[in-house]
């Protein structure tokens, strides 16, 4: 099994975390909802896998290319 680092594509804030460590996700299932410029943008699982770790908390500021979660595939 490999671990993939899930990175952000935008700068903004973590609005809501949808998944928890141990959750099994399919590709494109939401991990969290990001907020940028008053828009809510889902951050989806890039592949089928299990959430190993969430590295941010709700309300945290994020920058483009930050690692926010790890997914075991």
Per-residue pLDDT of the chain (73 residues; tens, 9 = 90+): 799 999 999 999 999 999 999 999 999 999 999 999 999 999 999 999 999 999 999 999 999 999 999 999 9
Domain boundaries, the chain: 3-72
Residue count of the chain = 73
| Cβ contacts of 38 within 8 Å, gap of 6 or more | none
Task: Please tell me whether the overall predicted TM-score, pTM, comes out greater than 0.85 for this model.
Answer: yes
Enter the CATH code of domain 3-72.
Answer: 2.40.50.100
């Amino acid at each position: 099994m490999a671990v993939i680092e899930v990175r952000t594509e935008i700068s903004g804030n973590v609005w809501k975390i949808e998944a928890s460590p141990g959750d099994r996700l399919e590709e494109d299932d939401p991990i969290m909802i990001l907020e940028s410029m008053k828009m809510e943008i889902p951050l989806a699982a890039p592949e089928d896998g299990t959430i190993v770790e969430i590295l941010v908390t709700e309300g945290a500021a994020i920058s483009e290319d930050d690692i926010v979660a790890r997914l075991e595939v």
